[in-house]
Copies of this chain bind each other. A is one copy, B any other.
Amino acid sequence: MRQRDSALNTQRRHAILEAASTCFVKSGFHGTSMKDVCGAAGMSPGTLYHYFRSKTEIIAGIIESEADMTLELLSSLKTTPDFFEALHEVLDFIASEVTEQDLALHTEIAAEILRQPHLRSAQAELDRRALEIVSEALSKAQRETQVDPTLDVDVTAKLILALIDGLLWRATFEGAMTLREQIPATKQLLSRMLQLQKERS
């Protein structure tokens, strides 16, 4: 994407993303003007537009760095010997690391993803990769008879991700504390959903 990548270039871009994140958490995406970001980053509008072509591209930069972390987190599901233990670790990580501040930024990002077609297709691509990781992890767990082999892995993977997305969405309104309270029940739900079923009536 970027043609040149000098030390100055990456340094300035990073500084802008940091400044913008701070502003977005404090005042929201639309509550902060480009002038605000310029002030926080200590540069003029012309300079900022030299490194980012638009306000949306700044959000895209923030999304990109968050996406890497998400995919890395999910990857542990593919390498672990115990699928359920790894799944619990993922949920615990979300519960412990997600602060009110993170949720505020997540909210601003989500709102802008919903609005901008370009960001939406980037998110769709991220979702596809996340889905692939979880599907493969489920297949592996099925082969090792840890997970009910009658389940369709793609559909099941989508449900798992939908559940996590829904929990984060609701945490936006109810706060990080309520999210944390949901975690044990979520683990139980996933166990009942995925584990080998006994014959029943």
With A114-B108, A192-B193 as contacts: A170 and B174 at CB distance below 8 Å: no
Contact with B along A120-164 (1 / 0, CB 8 A): 100110010000000000000000000000011001101101111
A42 to chain B, nearest CB (A): 27
B163 touches A115 (CB 8 A): no
Q: Is B114's CB under 8 angstroms from A172's CB?
A: yes
Known: A123-B173, A166-B161. A155 touches B110 (CB 8 A): no
Contacts of A70 in B (CB 8 A): none
Known: A155-B185, A165-B166, A169-B165. A114 touches B111 (CB 8 A): yes
State the majority secondary structure of interface residues on A.
Answer: helix
User: Which residues of the partner chain B approach A166 to less than 8 Å between Cβ atoms?
Assistant: 161-167, 169
Q: Which of B111, B162, B182, B185 contacts A170 (CB 8 A)?
A: B162
- Count of this chain's copies in the oligomeric assembly: 2
Complex CA gap A170/B30 in Å reads 24
Residues 174-201 of A contacting B (Cβ, < 8 Å): 174, 178, 181-182, 185-186, 189, 192-193, 197-198, 200
Q: Is A83 an interface residue (CB 8 A)?
A: no
Whose C-beta in chain B lies nearest to the C-beta of A155? B185
- Chain B residues contacting A110 (CB-CB under 8 Å) are 111, 114
Complex contact B120–A115 (CB within 8 A): no
Q: How far is the CB of A156 from chain B (nearest CB, A)?
A: 7
Among all A-B residue pairs, the 6 with the closest Cβ atoms:
A166-B166, A162-B166, A111-B114, A165-B166, A155-B185, A111-B111
A contact residues vs B (CB 8 Å cutoff): 28-30, 107-108, 110-112, 114-115, 120, 123-124, 127, 151-152, 155-156, 158-159, 161-167, 169-170, 172-174, 178, 181-182, 185-186, 189, 192-193, 197-198, 200
Given A114-B172, A124-B174, A162-B169, 17 other A-B residues pairs in contact with their CB atoms under 8 A: A29-B115, A30-B115, A108-B114, A108-B115, A110-B111, A111-B111, A111-B112, A127-B174, A151-B185, A159-B182, A159-B186, A163-B163, A165-B165, A165-B169, A169-B169, A192-B197, A198-B198
